[in-house]
A and B are shown apart, each in its own frame.
Chain A
Amino acid sequence: MVRLIGILVGIFFSGWLLVTLAVGFFTWASEPKVETAEHVFHKHPKALHLASDGPFGHFDLQQVQRGYKVYKEVCSACHSLRHVAFRDLEQLGYTEAQVKAEAATWMVPGIDPVTGEDTMRPGLPTDYFPKPYPNDVAARAANNNAIPPDLSLMAKARHDGAAYVYSLLTGYQEQPAALLEEFPEAKTPDGLHYNPYFANLNLAMAPPLSDGQVDFDDGSPNDLDALGHDVAAFLVWTAEPTLTKRNATGWPVVLFLVFLTVLAYLAYRNVWRNKEH
């Protein structure tokens, strides 16, 4: 009885799926394919190699420091970094005193100790990076109706995170003539900017970086490509400040377990040596 009911239920589900499949296939095969500009012209991120890649990954602190400088001088005008505190900068190789001095160069919201009114005061190491806009409405108003996203987790919140950041920053270009020919309606609207690495190709953010925009004290290269690398490296750090520790912890753990596996295998062979199985 169970088998009979089962077969009937099976015929229903499988049969209906096959009917659906047949009709779906006919529709799919007979209808013309509609392509979209996003589908044809969207590009996967460029290859990016950073010191933080892979199981031996660690932070290139010089590079992350440079990335921080670019964030401070350029990105922070519009993008917040709300999960990162000034005290975290110590992980980049700055001393406690340097961090204190650095924090004081930022103005953060505070309360006047006498009047209790809202005010701005120099930052302390315990403060988090301040937001550039008081609220989303202000952020939209200043940015052509788009909210600049928080950057703390950007390197983990997109597919191919760091490579995506790098590609987006260095990928602005003129809209290809082939695109306009094929999809005239997909012309980049006024106020937006064409970037093939962005999912819908048109981005509210104007190209933020250009050759030589930020100068480094040690004379490190500061062309667009180098700046894109540095920002990507910095955002990998903000997204996962524990990365170096994670990899450094992982190796002893995994190697110990490999050794344990060998021992356990030998113990297993030893216990079973006289038992055919």
Chain B
Amino acid sequence: MSFPWANQYQPTNPFMRWMDEKLPLPRFVYNAVGAGYPVPRNLNYWWNFGVLAGFCLMIQIVTGIILAMHYAPNALVAFDSTEHIMRDVNWGWMMRYAHANGASAFFVVVYIHIFRGFLFSSYKAPREMIWLLGVVIFLLMMATAFMGYVLPWGQMSFWGAKVITGLFGAIPLVGEPLQIWLLGGFAPDNAALNRFFSLHFLLPFVILGVVILHIWALHIPGSSNPTGVEVKQESDTVPFHPYYTAKDGFGLAAFLVIYTAFVFFMPNALGHPDNYIPANPLSTPAHIVPEWYFWPFYAILRAFTFDFFFVPAKLLGVLAMFAAILVWFFLPWLDNSPVRSSRYRPLMRKFWWFGFVPAMAALFYLGGAPAEEPYVMFSQLASAYYFAHFLIILPIVSMIEKTKPLPNSITEAVLAKNGAAAAE
């Protein structure tokens, strides 16, 4: 679907006309990300991160395929083949650092992209399907990243794999057989490493498929925007090209400056030193921690330290950790407000910025901290807020909040903002 005022693709070049009859790929591009796709004119920088996430996926696929040409997924040589890439493969060090930091960059932009969704209620009708697909992408990313981290077969690879697959062991009755089935053995070994490599190669393409669905679903209603008011007229929109290709180009270049600075100047800043020690099943690291992008959920997992009657604490933690993400699936229905943008939801806006953001920042820190007091108590407080925020505060505030009046249209909001700025 598009808006009735969208530019029409009219090739003048005879070759392009011929092409349009045989395979209308240029028409498709024109209508998807070209001048034929009208987009709200008021998108701010929060809206840059979807494109950046797509670009990160491309970085990961390209660098990953090259790394796979030199890597050997066998427990005996995996660590050494990684070092072979770092030392002997031409530009291998760059590919590996680009891939490892690319994973971090992917999560950074996706976390910002998701937070944009929270702040502007991008999950609300008519965009529920885009949101649901987005959460699926996030889950797939987590699985892919987890398995990728196992491949260098360092100490954190091994023990991370052991701890994370051990979570399935917490499930009553079937837990232990399930864990053994997932690993292909009693502990991570060759079977696990091989299947993780296989799946780590497969899943990015599954992600790519879901990304295509995500963008397809996006093109049905079109992008949301900072006012949360739907597009009503032609003056509310601009053609994607050149307006947003230019803005995304700027965002992409700025992103690449930061990303390459990490790759070339501090490539190990986000990694854990223990992963440069070869995996050793007989030596447990002092503190087993996953990669930084899992820390909030790891903190929630470890916050549960008491059994709830017959439910063991470990199982509770596992349930809570999965629930922390699964709750996002229900956001479109938990949030009952008729208004989307937090600009016009003064109370909810305060909860997002002064409740959710500090709690999330704390969880990010605490997930990487040792499982000792007082860290555990702070994890419990922050996790309690996390669940209360989505499951109690959001539904209740969305029903009782007195929202600010919405502008009649995007154009009116834009002109009012610029008029006010001009009058000052």
Query: Which positions in A face B, CB cutoff 8 Å?
Result: 2-3, 6-7, 9-11, 13-21, 23-25, 28, 54-55, 83, 88, 149, 152-153, 156-159, 161, 199, 239-242, 246-247, 249-251, 253-254, 257-258, 260-261, 263-265, 267-268, 270-272, 275-277
B385 CB–A CB distance under 8 Å = yes
Q: Please tell me which one of the listed residues B43, B86, B308, B380 contacts residue A242 in the complex, with CB atoms under 8 A apart.
A: B86
For B251, give the chain A residue with the smallest CB separation.
Answer: A264
Q: How far is the CA of A19 from the CA of B303 in the complex (A)?
A: 12
CA distance in complex: A7, B330 (Å): 12
18 more CB-based (< 8 A) A-B contacts, given A23-B306, A153-B277, A271-B242 = A3-B334, A6-B395, A9-B391, A10-B391, A17-B381, A17-B387, A24-B380, A83-B80, A156-B273, A159-B273, A239-B276, A246-B97, A253-B264, A254-B257, A254-B261, A254-B265, A272-B247, A277-B414
A6 and B384 contact, CB distance less than 8 A: no
Q: Are B316 and A16 in contact (CB under 8 A)?
A: yes
Given known contacts A17-B303, A268-B247, A241 and B87 CB-to-CB distance under 8 angstroms: yes
**B24 in the interface (beta carbon within 8 A):** no
**A-B Cβ contacts below 8 A, count:** 174
B376-406 vs A, CB cutoff 8 Å, 1 = contact: the mask equals 1100110111011011100110010000000
Contacting pair A16 B308 (CB below 8 A): yes
Complex interface: chain A residues within 8 A of B234 (CB): none
Q: How far does the alpha carbon of A271 sit from the alpha carbon of B392 in the complex, in Å?
A: 45
Contact of A153 among B276, B316, B380, B388 (CB under 8 A): B276
Query: Please, how many angstroms separate the alpha-carbon atoms of A83 and B306 in the complex?
Result: 46
CB atoms of A13 and B387 under 8 A apart = yes
Contacts of B334 in A (CB 8 A): 2-3, 6
Using CB atoms, name the residue of chain B closest to A266: B250
Chain A residues contacting B94 (CB-CB under 8 Å) are 246, 249
Docked-complex contact B383 and A17, CB < 8 angstroms: yes
Instruction: List B349-380 residues whose CB lies under 8 Å from chain A.
Output: 373-374, 376-377, 380
User: B418 near A: Cβ within 8 Å?
Assistant: yes
- Cα A161 to Cα B277 with chains together (Å): 12
| Complex Cα spacing A268 to B261, Å | 23
A243: nearest residue on chain B (CB-CB)?
B93
Q: Which residues of B contact A (CB under 8 A)?
A: 41-43, 80, 83, 86-87, 93-94, 97, 238, 242-243, 246-247, 249-250, 252-254, 256-257, 260-261, 263-265, 267-268, 273-274, 276-277, 286, 303-306, 308, 316, 320, 323, 327, 330, 333-334, 336, 373-374, 376-377, 380-381, 383-385, 387-388, 390-392, 395-396, 399, 414-415, 418
Contact partners of B383 in chain A: CB under 8 A:
13, 17
User: Are B87 and A24 touching (Cβ within 8 A)?
Assistant: no
Interface of chain B: mostly helix, strand, loop or mixed: helix
Are B377 and A28 in contact, with the CB atoms below 8 A? Answer: yes
Q: Which of B83, B246, B304, B305 contacts A272 (CB 8 A)?
A: B246
Q: Is the interface of A mostly helix, strand, loop or mixed?
A: helix
Interchain Cβ contacts under 8 Å between A and B, 15 examples: A3-B333, A16-B306, A17-B381, A55-B265, A83-B83, A159-B273, A242-B86, A249-B94, A260-B256, A261-B256, A263-B253, A268-B247, A271-B246, A276-B415, A277-B41
Which residues on the A side are within 8 Å of B305 (C-beta)? 20, 24
Residue contact B323 to A9, C-beta cutoff 8 Å: yes
Partner of A25, one of B249, B257, B377: B377
Q: How far is the CA of A240 from the CA of B276 in the complex (A)?
A: 11
Name the A residues within 8 Å of B304 (CB-CB): 16-17, 20
Chain B nearest Cβ from A168, distance in angstroms: 14
Q: How distant is B240 from chain A, measured CB to nearest CB, in Å?
A: 12
